[in-house]
Amino acid sequence: MLEIKNVSKTFNAGTINEKKALNQLNLKLENEDFVTVIGGNGAGKSTMLNAITGVFRIDSGEVTVDGQNITNLPEYKRAKYIGRVFQDPMMGTAADMWVEENLSIAESRGKHRTIKWAITKKDRERFRELLTQLDLGLENRLSTKMGLLSGGQRQAITLLMAAMQKPKLLLLDEHTAALDPATASKVLALTDRIVAENHLTAIMITHNMKDAIQHGNRLIMMNQGKIIYDVSGEEKAKLTKADLMAKFAEIAGENQESDRMLLN
């Protein structure tokens, strides 16, 4: 389904701020895999998603989706295959536009945008139905400005928008991090439902160990631009928070060790 082969990305190469964010990264996802991603700040998790969506050009390596090499496709063309939810609830929607306009934009993703009137009565009915399913009381707020909604409501709609054209790949970057616990678990439940109902392949970054364990069928841990731990199936099901904490401590020790070696 998704294959990342030997992908490297260095920011500010050749300057004092040089940062190797992805280091010969390899990852292969099967159809309907739901992978959770953990790792410390700066491990390269978001950079990996940006490399998949094409926010920047990678230095080396290859990204393929369903056998098609998308390494050289611009971001807006990859959007046809990829749905995305960001950490910042402001990022995923157009705040000054209405809810229905945002939904309509998402509905045309990957299609030719014509000069047909965008939102008809029929569209509005369909949008209302979709919003009713969210169960957040949004069905009567089609002509509310997106920016007036709460963070949780906005993330839920962004999720809906990401799934609307049934993408091959759904990418979630700490999409519940800015939400209060109750709203976060609501949005997570919605995530599970959307992934299952649409049979999506998904990657979800999180800093919450419990969520990383509870959701998905596979878990990977990243450190210094590489995947250093990869469990799935039975093994993942048996994983505990303590296991992951131990793993983290181990890495922290190694990182310190390599820092010391660099300094010497």
Binding residue (CB under 6 A) for ligand ATP from 5, 11, 165, 247:
11
Between 8 and 144, name the residue whose CB sits nearer to another protein: 144
CA 37 – CA 221 distance, rounded (Å): 6
Give the one entry of ligand ATP, Mg ion, another protein, none that residue 11 binds, where binding means its C-beta sits below a cut-off of 5 to 8 angstroms depending on kind: ligand ATP
At 110 the three-state DSSP class reads: coil
Q: Are 92 and 161 contacting, i.e. CB atoms less than 8 angstroms apart? A: yes
CA 183 – CA 91 distance, rounded (Å): 18
β-bridge mates for residue 4, sequence order? 27, 63
Binding residue (CB under 6 A) for ligand ATP from 45, 109, 141, 215:
45
Interaction of residue 46 with Mg ion, rule CB under 5 A: yes
β-bridge mates for residue 219, sequence order? 36, 231
Residues engaged in binding another protein (CB under 8 A): 53, 55, 74-77, 79-80, 82, 84, 91-97, 101-102, 104-106, 108-111, 113-119, 145, 161
Q: For ligand ATP, which stretch binds (CB under 6 A), given 36-44, 147-155, 156-164, 245-253?
A: 36-44
In this structure, the strands spanning 226-232 and 19-29 are unpaired
Q: For Mg ion, which stretch binds (CB under 5 A), given 38-46, 56-64, 72-80, 121-129?
A: 38-46
**Smallest distance, Å, CB 253 to ligand ATP?**
19
Interaction of residue 27 with ligand ATP, rule CB under 6 A: no
Q: For ligand ATP, which stretch binds (CB under 6 A), given 37-45, 76-84, 98-106, 234-242?
A: 37-45
Binding residue (CB under 6 A) for ligand ATP from 27, 43, 51, 172:
43
In what side-by-side order are the strands of the sheet with 169-173?
82-85, 169-173, 201-205, 34-38, 218-223, 226-232
- In sequence order, the 6+-apart residues with CB closer than 8 A to the CB of 232 are 217, 218, 219
Interaction of residue 53 with Mg ion, rule CB under 5 A: no
HSE-CB at 179 with a 13 A cutoff on CA atoms is 25
Which residues contact Mg ion by CB under 5 A? 46
Q: Which residues bind ligand ATP (CB under 6 A)?
A: 11-12, 19, 21, 39, 41-47
